[in-house]
Amino acid sequence: MGRCSMPIMGILLLCCFCLASTSEAEYLKYKDPKLPVNVRVEDLLKRMTLEEKIGQMTQIERSVATPDVVKKYFIGSVLSGGGSVPAPRASADTWIKLVNGLQKGALSTRLGIPMIYGIDAVHGHNTVYKATVFPHNVALGVTRQVCMDPVLIKKIGAATALEVRATGIPYTFAPCIAVCRDPRWGRCYESYSEDPNIVRTMTEIIHGLQGDQPANYRKGYPFVAGKKNIAACAKHYVGDGGTTKGINENNTVISWKGLLSIHMPGYPAAIQKGVASIMISFSSWNGKKMHANYDLITGFLKNKLQFQGFVISDWQGLDRITSPPHANYSYSVQAGISAGIDMIMVPYNYTEFIDILTNHVKNNIIAVSRIDDAVTRILRVKFIMGLFDNPLSDHSLTNQIGRKEHRELAREAVRKSLVLLKNGKSSGKLLLPLPKKATKILVAGSHAHNLGYQCGGWTITWQGLGGNNLTVGTTILNAVKQTVDPSTQVVYKKNPSTNFVKSNKFDFAIVVVGEPSYAETEGDSLNLTISDPGPSTINNVCGSIKCVVVLITGRPVVIQPYLSKIDVLVAAWLPGTEGQGVADLLFGDYGFTGKLARTWFKTVDQLPMNVGDKHYDPLFPFGFGLTTEPSK
């Protein structure tokens, strides 16, 4: 009897322990996918230490992130900066391995809060080798005339989401809903238009990226449909496209009424579509840095517009609150967090940021309530995205990278985004569409056989690359060769002399020139000229034979001095990998339909000049675009 009593007591104790464990497991409401998001967030938040909360607010760069770092500092987010890849020409499987490895570090923490990986997929999954590269936004703004219920832009968003998810990434820093009011700005190609109404319309891409909200879904609440969609980020709040002389990260001088009517309309539209996050602009408004603007971030965006997602800084955005950057980082952290920024793109000096923010909270410089607001918003988005329930990526979508249907969609976008500015030297002598059956044609220009220039910045690398080795696609030269009759001789010469042109008896020439690749400040330009030898190529070719000039640019450029020599002028913008869409129009398989979403100036002295201005005297006005009928 005595011997039996000990095992029974042990069993009873064990049972009590099991009941306690079961009870404890049931108490973890945040792990129950059946519970409402707000219940899960509230339950998790109250379990978190200050260290865990501040970790959630910290976003670090891939190059300094390891599973151990993510675990030790409770890192809430990791990003790939422009061109930051796990390996050159990394496959989808390599990307998934990277993201899942970091995610396992996050899941091994005490509470197992998943991290969110973000990347700039701003015209397709543009950092990834073989991905479909769509035309940049400056081109897509043109397409609104073709699809006023922007079906095309939504499809592009959905295709981009699939290719991003194919690499295990659930979050993109797109769309850019800047309203570029001065083409001298190096980011103008990231803007759909100078017209805020077009920009607002093009926020439909958010429904493509994130999916459509159900009919009864709470308006303005973040939404991501599932594992084939990604969280979006509207940027850069607010006024980034209106800086003085178009200088990047400069000061936007405009009244409150002007800010609301020109630069703000895209944001309420994005919020209504359930955008998950909003990124703050490097720029200032009337001298005050946006990253430190409490009234606009907390007062207007969060309180007035009722934005419920999270607010994220730009790259080292807090550092740049001071001049020079990082001069007083303690103050910058206080100013940025107090203004209402929730997640900080650090991206490298994360221990410094964490230490400073921790001290600010412990010294009552920043209230715990402000930290709780930030973490609540971040967790809300993570729960809505399904990250807690499906934190690891699988390989089921790897075949989506550059798939044929996406490339066909990109080709359609190219066709609908080209603008025909001139067709023949007189109205009775139209040159387009070009005949496919010609004896001999010339293709010339620095951009005719250069996939990198065709794609522009934010392609594989941050600044973009010249040449044809960056990714997979079709150059305009190759598109022409694939389009013309097999009997037509196509001669390519980058910068032919006048004598060469005259002595070869060409039927006509296609000259493709433009700007080199660039991004952000390095694209700022006060002269907006075509890069050499573009002007001499135009003069040599178009002064000798009938010519079509195709401009590969991120914005309107100086073209008036050459216009009289040119028979046909086409604004092709930055069309991306699918150059076949250009040939589709030139040779009449489809007709031109695009209308300018930007004013085309005569001289840079007129800038800034936008539709509706008093002294509006453009070379080609906003909304201009000739049309052609397809060849029969």
E strand or H helix at 59, and its extent?
A: strand 58-61
User: Is 66 in a helix, a strand, or coil?
Assistant: coil
The CA distance from 593 to 414, in Å, is: 11
Which residues touch 531 (CB under 8 Å, ≥6 apart)? 446, 513, 514, 515, 516
Decide if 412 is catalytic: no
Which residues touch 120 (CB under 8 Å, ≥6 apart)? 80, 81, 82, 126, 127, 172, 173, 174, 458
| Nearest-10 crossing angle of helices 329-339, 350-362 | 70
CA-to-CA dists, residue 196 to 74, 179, 203, 295, angstroms: 40, 6, 11, 22
Q: What is the DSSP letter of 216?
A: T
Buried b (16+ CB within 10 A) or exposed e, 265-292: bbbbbbbebbbbbbbbbbbbbeeebbbb
Q: What is the DSSP letter of 258?
A: H
The secondary structure of 226-254 as a DSSP string is STT--B-EEEEETTGGG-GGG-TT-EE--
Compute the CA torsion angle 524, 529, 533, 535 (nearest 10 deg): 170
Q: In what order do the strands lie in the sheet with 547-552?
A: 419-423, 568-571, 547-552, 508-514, 440-444, 489-493
Query: Per the residue annotation, which of 520, 524, 567, 584 is the catalytic one?
Result: 520
Q: Is the dihedral of CA 80, 86, 90, 91 positive or negative?
A: negative
**CA 281: distance to chain centroid?**
14
User: Is 294 in a helix, a strand, or coil?
Assistant: helix
Q: For the chain, what percentages of helix, strand and coil (3-state, to nearest 5) are there?
A: 40, 10, 45
Query: Per the residue annotation, which of 194, 314, 342, 412 is the catalytic one?
Result: 314
E strand or H helix at 12, and its extent?
A: helix 2-27
Name the amino acid, one letter, at 198: I
CB atoms < 10 A from the CB of 134, how many? 33
Residue 332's φ and ψ, nearest 5 degrees, are: -60, -45
Give the angle subtended at the CA of 154 by the CAs of 150 and 159, to the nearest 5°: 145
Q: Per the structure block, which two tokens stand in for 55?
A: 């970790």
The CA distance from 423 to 441, in Å, is: 18
Which residues touch 337 (CB under 8 Å, ≥6 apart)? 57, 344, 357, 360, 366, 370, 371, 374
- Return the CA Rg of the chain: 27
The CA distance from 175 to 203, in Å, is: 7
Q: What is the DSSP letter of 471?
A: S
Q: Per the structure block, which two tokens stand in for 580?
A: 């076949």
Q: What is the DSSP letter of 484?
A: S
Helices and strands (H, E) in the chain, number of each type: 21, 17
Give the angle subtended at the CA of 402 by the CAs of 449 and 136, to the nearest 5°: 60
Decide if 520 is catalytic: yes
Q: Which residues are catalytic?
A: 314, 520
